[in-house]
Structure 1
Amino acid sequence: MTVNVLALGLNHVSAPVSVRERVSMPEDLVQPALNALRSSFGGAVKEAAILSTCNRTELYCAAEPHVTDQLPTWLAEFNQIEAGVLRPHLYMLDRDEAVRHAFRVASGLDSMVLGETQILGQLKDAVRTADEAGALGTLLHQLFQKTFSVAKEVRTTTAIGAQSVSMAAAAVRLAERVFGNLGDCKVLFIGAGEMIELCATHFAAQQPASIVVANRTIERAETLANRFDAAVMRLSDLPERLAEFDVVVSCTASSLPILGLGMVERATKLRRRKPIVMVDLAVPRDIEPEVARLDDVYLYSVDDLGVVVQSGTDAREAAVVQAEAIIDNRVRHFMHWMQVRANVPIIRDLQANAQSIQEQELERARKFLARGDAPDVVLEQMARALTQKYLHGTLNALNHSEEAERKQLLGWLPRLFPSGNERR
Structure 2
Amino acid sequence: MVVWALGLNQTSAPLNLPGRFSFALNEMAPALQKLRLIFGNADSTHRQVEAVILSTCNRTEIYCAGEFAAQEHVMRWLAEYGGVPPAVLRSHAYLLKNEQAARHAFRVTSGLDSMGLGESHILAQMKDAVRVAENAGMLGATLNQLFQDSFEIAKHVRTATAIGTSSIGLATAAVRLAAQLFEDLRQTRVLLVGAGEVIELAAVHFAARGARHIAVANRTLERGNRVVARVGGEVMPLSELPARLAEFDIVVSCTASILPLIGLGVVERALKQRRHRPMFMADLAVPRDIEPEVKALQDIYLYTIDDLAQVAHEGRTGREASVTQAEQIIDSGVQRFMQWAARHGMVMLIRQLNAQFEGWRASELSRARKRLSGGEDVEIVMEALSRGLAQKMLHGARAELRAGDTAERAEMEQTISRLFLREGR
Note closer, same or farther for the CA distance 1:48–1:264 as it changes in structure 2 (3 Å cut): same
Residues in 2 aligned to 1:218 and 1:74: alpha-carbon distance in whole angstroms: 30
- Which residue of structure 1 lines up, in the alignment, with residue 326 of structure 2? 323
2:20 corresponds to: 22
State how far apart, in whole Å, the 1-side matches of 2:208 and 2:290 are.
Answer: 25
Letter in 2 for 1:94: K
Do residues 244 (structure 1) and 210 (structure 2) align? Answer: no
> Cα RMSD over matched residues?
3.5
Corresponding letter in the other structure for 2:308: L
Task: Give the letter for the 1:66 counterpart.
Answer: A
Q: 1:283 to 1:28 in 2, by over 3 A?
A: farther
Return closer, same or farther for 1:330/1:261 CA change in 2, 3 Å cut-off. Answer: same
Going from structure 1 to structure 2, the CA distance change for 1:212 and 1:65 (only over 3 Å counts) comes to closer
Pairwise CA distance, 1:268 = 2.7
1:37 aligned residue: 35
Q: Letter of the aligned partner of 2:253 in structure 1?
A: S
The equivalent of 2:131 in structure 1 is 128
Q: Tell me: CA distance 1:15–1:44, structure 2 relative to 1, closer, same or farther (3 Å).
A: farther
Q: Separation in 2 of the partners of 1:63 and 1:153?
A: 28
| 1:160 is the counterpart of 2:163 | yes
The verdict on how the C-alpha distance between 1:81 and 1:268 changes in structure 2, with shifts beyond 3 A counting, is farther
Per the alignment, residue 403 of structure 2 pairs with: none
Query: Which structure would you say has the larger Rg?
Result: 1
**Aligned counterparts of 1:219 and 1:242: Cα–Cα separation in 2:** 21
Residues in 1 aligned to 2:31 and 2:127: alpha-carbon distance in whole angstroms: 18
How far apart, CA to CA, are the structure 2 residues paired with 1:297 and 1:29? 35
Distance 1:183 1:78, change over 3 A: closer
Aligned residue type for 1:136: L
Distance 2:356 2:245 in 1: 74
Whether the 8 Å CA contact 1:257–1:285 is kept in 2: the answer is yes
Task: Give the 3 Å change call, closer, same or farther, for CA 50–222 of structure 1 in structure 2.
Answer: closer
Write the distance in 2 (CA, Å) between the matches of 1:23 and 1:58: 9
Deviation at 1:262, TM superposition (A): 3.4
Q: Hey, what does 1:170 align to over in structure 2?
A: 173
The unaligned stretches of length 5 or more in structure 2 are 362-409
Q: Deviations over 1:321-343 (max 9, x none)?
A: 11111111111111111112222
Aligned to 1:287: 290
Judged with a 3 Å threshold, the aligned counterparts in structure 2 of structure 1 residues 350 and 130 are, in CA distance, closer, same or farther, namely closer
Question: Could you tell me how far 1:75 is from its partner in structure 2?
Answer: 2.0
Q: Residue 299 in 1 paired to residue 297 in 2?
A: no
Q: Is the 8 A contact 1:113 1:166 kept in 2?
A: yes
2:19·2:256 contact (CA, 8 Å) conserved in 1? no
User: Which of 3, 6, 20 in structure 1 is aligned with 2:4?
Assistant: 6
Does 1:270 pair with 2:273?
yes
Q: Which residue of 1 aligns with 2:203?
A: 200
More displaced stretch, 296-305 vs 202-211: 202-211
Letter in 2 for 1:34: L
Give the alignment's TM-score, normalised by structure 1.
0.73
TM-score w.r.t. the length of structure 2 is 0.72
Q: Is the 8 A contact 2:118 2:168 kept in 1?
A: no
Query: What residue is the counterpart of 1:397 in the other structure?
Result: none
Q: Which residue pairs with 1:374 in the alignment?
A: none
Distance 1:261 1:292 in 2: 9
Find the partner of 2:189 among 186, 189, 197.
186
Does residue 98 (structure 1) correspond to residue 101 (structure 2)? The answer is: yes
Task: Tell me how far apart the structure 2 counterparts of residues 306 and 182 of structure 1 sit (CA, whole Å).
Answer: 22
Tell me which moved more, 203-212 or 34-43. Answer: 203-212
1:225 CA drift (Å)? 5.6
TM-aligned CA deviation for residue 226 of structure 1: 7.8
CA contact (8 A) 1:54 1:284 kept: no
